[in-house]
Structure 1
Amino acid sequence: MSHSTSSHSATHPATHPTTTRRNLLRSTVATAALAATTTAATEARATTPTPPTPPTGKGPRIGILLYDGYSLLDPTGPAEILSRLPDATVTMIAERRGAVRTDTGDVAVVAERSIAEVDRLDVLLVPGAGNRGTVGAMTNEALLSWIREMHRHTRWTTSVCTGSLVLAAAGLLDGREATTYWASAEYLTSTFDVTYLPERYVRSGKIVTAAGVSAGIDMALYLASLIAGDDTAKAIQLAVEYDPRPPFDAGDATKADAQLKERALQLLADSQV
């Protein structure tokens, strides 16, 4: 309203000869108040998650668990693939609704549902994290109990990176073959009854585990083929133009020397909070 008054005054100066500094100050204060109110409302909308559209029942209900300190690509890479499945619904889930920060602390993804609000899923995906996040999830009985309950009814239970450690902590990988982040392989096999396979993804019954971070995209495409067929999975791969051609042949831990491995782990440690 103050903007309209100011504009009117500027257009018809002769109509308001008594415009004074006090009027201008009032206009400025009113404008600032309006801006503050608008900003507050915008911030409130931004921090209040909008619930996703209820599942139609036609496609798979896919839930991706978020917890403090996860690695960004672990949930978002597969989400990009799986959200393209016909009639699928992909929902980010956490202990509580709201923003959940990554291991670097620089980025947050919004969880639209709390674990208390989700009792059935067709597909569950558990991402990996840095040491702090992984240990936190592995020792969080509320999360582990929820994972076990979801697993009872899922068609597919999946993980990316050290998410397999979380599945193992929940008791879901006992006696199974699985993969994980290369630096966590020894811990996985020495701590749990799991046979580690150094593959991009490994299927054991209805559980599919992926290796580190980017391998979640490969796993998601494989999962898409299991859910909707090879043709649909291939079409999704083309749709997102997933045709990786990295500038270096440095992503395979089995071919990396000790110095490069040490440097890689140091970069991860230095970037995490």
Structure 2
Amino acid sequence: MTNEYLKTDIPSLNSLREATAKKGPPFRVGIVIGPGYFPLDMVGVQAVLGTLPGAEIYLVWKSREPVEGFRGFWTLPTVTFSDCPDLDVIAVPMMPPELQTDREVVDFVATRGKKARYLIGVCNGVLTLGAAGFLRGKRATISHNSHSILPLYGVTEVVTSGVVADGNVFTAGPSVGSFEAALLVAEQAFGRQVAELSEFIVEYDPHPPFGTGTAAGAGPATVGKFEGMMADMISRYRAEALKFAAANA
């Protein structure tokens, strides 16, 4: 199985690709996408792990038809669930609750995740890892609005910030969490020196201009407005999680 991305014949990209090439097995990263997925939750995974030796990035969905990331970010899947090769990493960004427990999505993550070396969940993509059975007995984190949902998937300790590594499962909040989780995977897979180089290649060094990227920094008014915006979606995530908990009681 060859990732078509690797066939792109542009000299400057070819030289960069050669700089990260290595002999031996490829390092295959599968990012699950679908209609309504949140692009920034996967970009950090793609950017960081794409710098690693032998990296192959697969954007995985049910078909090869374009899907719209939220919003207006049209994305072409590079491989389907059925055609995807075995993966070293499976990463799941936030997707709508209708897809979070979609049977095909969950079956793919559950089946391939058992063989993968590392699992990454970003924002509410963490809930898909839960639906696939990978959060039982784990410490985990997720986006601000979904902390209370995690125990329904068997999480024993909910962490409210940062990135959590528990065994081979890496969970993170939204957006920049995708970079941080990917950097920790890079360290485990290739060592600290390679991970530090990856961090410098993407110049990961956030400087939030307003300091409102956390609930503590945002303050009650902003947090309340955001929670109101997300209320319907979070209730749907919770409903799916309750179905899962009842079915696995």
Change (3 A) 1:265 1:109: farther
Partner SS, residue 76 of structure 2: strand
Aligned to 1:181: 143
Amino acid at match of 1:168: G
CA RMSD, 1 decimal:
2.2
The answer as to whether partners of 2:150 and 2:158 remain within 8 angstroms in 1 is yes
Gap runs ≥5 in structure 2: 8-20, 232-249
1:183-262 map, 5 Å? 183-189=145-151, 191-194=152-155, 195-262=157-224
The answer as to whether partners of 2:43 and 2:178 remain within 8 angstroms in 1 is no
Amino acid at match of 2:119: T
Same amino acid, percent of matched pairs: 27
Correspondence for 2:123 among 124, 148, 161 = 161
Partner SS, residue 111 of structure 1: coil
Aligned to 2:65: 98
Aligned to 1:51: 4
- Deviation string for 1:78-120 (max 9, x for gaps)? 101110001111111111113121122x111111100010141
The answer as to whether partners of 1:119 and 1:150 remain within 8 angstroms in 2 is no
Q: Give the TM-score normalised by the residue count of structure 2.
A: 0.79
Distance 1:141 1:80 in 2: 29
Distance 1:60 1:207 in 2: 17
The answer as to whether partners of 2:66 and 2:76 remain within 8 angstroms in 1 is yes
Change (3 A) 1:71 1:268: farther
Amino acid at match of 1:197: V
Distance 1:248 1:255 in 2: 9
Which has the larger Rg? 1
Q: Once the 2 structures are TM-superposed, how far is the Cα of residue 226 of structure 1 from its aligned partner?
A: 1.1
Distance 1:71 1:114 in 2: 19
Distance 1:268 1:215 in 2: 19
Change (3 A) 1:162 1:63: same
Q: Once the 2 structures are TM-superposed, how far is the Cα of residue 57 of structure 1 from its aligned partner?
A: 5.0
Following TM superposition, the consecutive aligned residue runs of length 4 or more in structure 1 with deviations greater than 6 angstroms are none
Amino acid at match of 1:120: D
Gap runs ≥5 in structure 1: 1-49
The answer as to whether partners of 1:200 and 1:219 remain within 8 angstroms in 2 is no
Distance 1:173 1:108 in 2: 30
